[in-house]
Structure formats: C-alpha cells, structure tokens
Amino acid sequence: MRMTMPPKKRTAIYPGSFDPLTNGHMDVIQRALEIFDEVVVAILRNPSKKALFSTEERLEMIRQSFNGNSALKVDTFDGLLVDYARMKHAVAIIRGMRAISDFENEFQMALMNRKLHKDVQSVFLMTGLRWIFTSSSIIKEAAQFGGDISDMVPNPVKLKLMEKFPLLVEKLEQNPPKKGSR
Ligand code: PNS
C-alpha cells in the first residue's frame, strides 16, 4: 500500500518593526493568510532603534488584534531575517507595498535576502487602497498631538496609544470619532 504524505505546511514570515501595528499591516496579514498555511508576524528586536512601544507591548497588541486565528503566529527575532526564516522553514518573506516610494528600499532588501538565502522568496502584497498613506510613524506623530487615528489602527493599538498620549484622550473626549468618517 502506498502511503501518501500530508502536504507540507507553507509558512511565510512577515517581518517588521510594528511600532505599532496599523490597519495597513492588518490588511497585509489577512491577504497573506489567504495564500499561506501559516503566517509568522516577526518583530525585529532592535535595541539601537528608538521605539515608542517595547517589543513585549508590540507582541501583545498584535496578539490581541488577531486573537484566535491559529494560522497566525507572533514572534520576535534578532540578527539576520534570512537566518530566522531558515530556522522557521519559511518559504516566503512577506512585505507590504504601498506607494512607489517603498519600492527602492524593498527591492534592495529583497535582493540582499535572496543573495543570502536563495530558497526563500520575497512576496510583496499591496495594501488596500484606503491604507496607502498609513504608516506607523505618521500615526504616532498624529496621535502625539491628539489627532484622531481611530480608524487607522486596531482597537487594542488605539487604547495603547491613548495610554502613551494623554492629549489623544483629551481630544477624543472633546470630539468622539464619527462612524464612517473620511
Ligand atoms: O518595518 P520595517 O522597520 O520596515 O522592517 C524592516 C525589517 C525588520 C524587515 C528589516 O530591517 C530586517 O529584516 N532587519 C533584520 C536584518 C536583516 O536581515 N536585514 C536585511 C538584509 S541586509
């Protein structure tokens, strides 16, 4: 009798700083989950880069935002991304692509990663159009001065931003977010 082997699980790594997770990242993760059996969101531990949120806070916010999806894992890594990808037996590295301004840096990184590890493919996923202008840094900047970022981040992230920036709480109390605001 011939034994058939179960198909191999196809794992993709979605690396980044995620300081913090945005709806643009969420969109990319959802698209990646449609293609791969398992997606590992991997936060770079980088002590030399000043971050608003600690690695643990970022990990927790991502877990809370996706609670219950068993195909999604959240982890941290340091050192070379390709070494981490190898350790996880990943077939792909996912990166989100917004505007053309992302291209040059991503292109360089993908080629370097390919040189270092030829068996992992870089896969670029385009975010939904409404997230084209969303980035972690622009969200932090707006939130710091009380700008309403309610519909740009998942709720657990909004709550953590409110903890960091009292002005955001004040402004949201004065002007509660309107549903479907543009
Ligand atoms: O969200 P970011 O900050 O754009 O993510 C950048 C990240 C973490 C993907 C990139 O800096 C990275 O992979 N760093 C690990 C070191 C590495 O392997 N660099 C690429 C080859 S030089």
The dihedral over CA atoms of 114, 115, 116, 121, expressed in degrees to the nearest 10, equals 10
The tokens describing 140, both together, are 């932090």
Determine the Cα angle at 25 with ends 84 and 162, to 5°.
110
Atom of ligand 1 nearest to the CA of 82: 18
Reported as a single tens digit per residue, the pLDDT across 33-57 is 999 999 999 999 988 889 999 999 9
Asked if residue 101 belongs to a domain, the reply is: yes
Q: What is the pLDDT of residue 1?
A: 67
Indicate whether residue 87 lines ligand 1 (CB < 6 A): no
Asked if residue 39 belongs to a domain, the reply is: yes
Q: What is the pLDDT of residue 181?
A: 53
* CATH code of the domain in which 39 resides: 3.40.50.620
C-alpha closest to that of 31 among 62, 59, 87, 72: 72
pLDDT band, residue 164 (cuts 50/70/90): very high
Asked if residue 85 belongs to a domain, the reply is: yes
Indicate whether residue 20 lines ligand 1 (CB < 6 A): no
Q: What is the pLDDT of residue 98?
A: 87
Domain count across the chain: 1
Instruction: Please give the average per-residue pLDDT across 132-156, as a whole number.
Output: 96
Query: How far apart are the C-alpha atoms of 53 and 6, rounded to whole Å?
Result: 40
Asked if residue 138 belongs to a domain, the reply is: no
Asked if residue 98 belongs to a domain, the reply is: yes
Reported as a single tens digit per residue, the pLDDT across 96-116 is 998 888 899 999 999 999 999
pTM of the model: 0.93
**Any idea which residues carry the catalytic annotation?**
25, 49, 98, 136
Q: What is the pLDDT of residue 123?
A: 98
- Give the domain range for residue 85: 11-133
Asked if residue 110 belongs to a domain, the reply is: yes
Asked if residue 156 belongs to a domain, the reply is: no
